[in-house]
Amino acid sequence: MQFPGVTEFTLPSGVFFPGAISYHERMDMNLSDPVMAALIGACATVLATLVQLRLSWRKEMKERERGQPITKKTRRGPVIVVFALMIAAAVGGFALSEYFVTLRDGDRDTMRTELRSRLFEISASAARLERARLAEREQAESGVLRAEAQRRGEEGVAATALVGPCRAEGTATPGSRPDCSEQGAVRVAVCARVPAAAIVREVLLYSRSDDSQQPWADSRVQPGQDAGRAKFVEKFFERPDGDAAKQVCQSFINLNGETARQARIVVKYTLQETHAVSR
């Protein structure tokens, strides 16, 4: 039936949805040897049974046309064929179920492998984040420690030592103790601990008697300057104190045989610029 004003449209011959797209995944037909053998045997049995059943029915139809009586053997033939067909169908069903089980196991193994790889990726990402967090934390802590060490270096690190009166060799008048010579006096190293990367800018020296109340700012002396028969000698020196620190020391001698002296040093320093080496 055609409607007026409507033109019938006919697709060209041989053209039907060119480039059709299938949204079904291809099934993996990799079968194990037992399953493949069972399928082949079941198919062969079914085909042979069907052929035998066809021949038996044709033979029975010819005997009926001739009017020959049907024997028990002839009647038993289709039953045996049907029984064989049932056995073949059971074998085929078992093989098909084994195939589905194998396919399901393959999907489960694939899913397990993919899940394991995802867990490995998650663990690796978590480890990278943890290392980055620890690196940021160490960098922040090192920055704080460096700022604190820089501030201490600008203010100065102090060290104080009490040096007792010397004991001179020789005779002394009653009620008095003679002073010592510079060669016989004991030298005491007054040391301040600073970072190993410190660059010493200056060492301030102070000296006063043990019972003095004079402020340290007013007790400053220079190397070699006599301060109550006591003085700092030579130039300051450095010696290691572990891997992260060192000691800055100044030698002090007390030549006074009666009065103990306090010796104090203040070390001011700056820190070397350290550059991180990327690995």
- pLDDT tens-digit map of 59-71: 767 766 676 565 5
Question: Residue 206's pLDDT is what?
Answer: 95
207 and 223 Cβ atoms separated by less than 8 Å: no
Is residue 275's pLDDT more than 50?
no
Residue whose C-alpha is closest to residue 212's, from 254, 259, 169: 259
Are 32 and 102 spatial neighbours (Cβ–Cβ below 8 Å)?
yes
Give the C-alpha separation, 26 to 156, whole Å. Answer: 79
213-252, pLDDT tens digit by residue? Answer: 889 999 999 998 988 889 998 899 999 998 889 999 999 9
Say if residue 75's pLDDT is above 60: no
170 against 95, higher pLDDT: 95
Q: How confident is the model at residue 173 (pLDDT cuts 50, 70, 90)?
A: low
Looking at residue 6, its pLDDT comes to 47
Q: Can you tell me the distance from the alpha carbon of 87 to that of 168, in angstroms, rounded to the nearest whole number?
A: 124
Question: Would you state the pLDDT for residue 16?
Answer: 45
Collapsing DSSP to helix, strand or coil, 145 comes out as helix
Type of residue numbered 49: T
User: pLDDT digit string (tens) for 15-44?
Assistant: 444 444 444 445 455 656 666 666 676 677
Helix (H, G, I), strand (E, B) or coil at 277: coil
- pLDDT at 133 > cutoff 70: yes
Q: In this predicted structure, what is the pLDDT of residue 204?
A: 94
- Nearest 5°: the CA angle 175, 176, 177 is 140
Edge-to-edge strands of the sheet including 157-163?
157-163, 261-271, 198-209, 220-221
pTM over 0.85: no
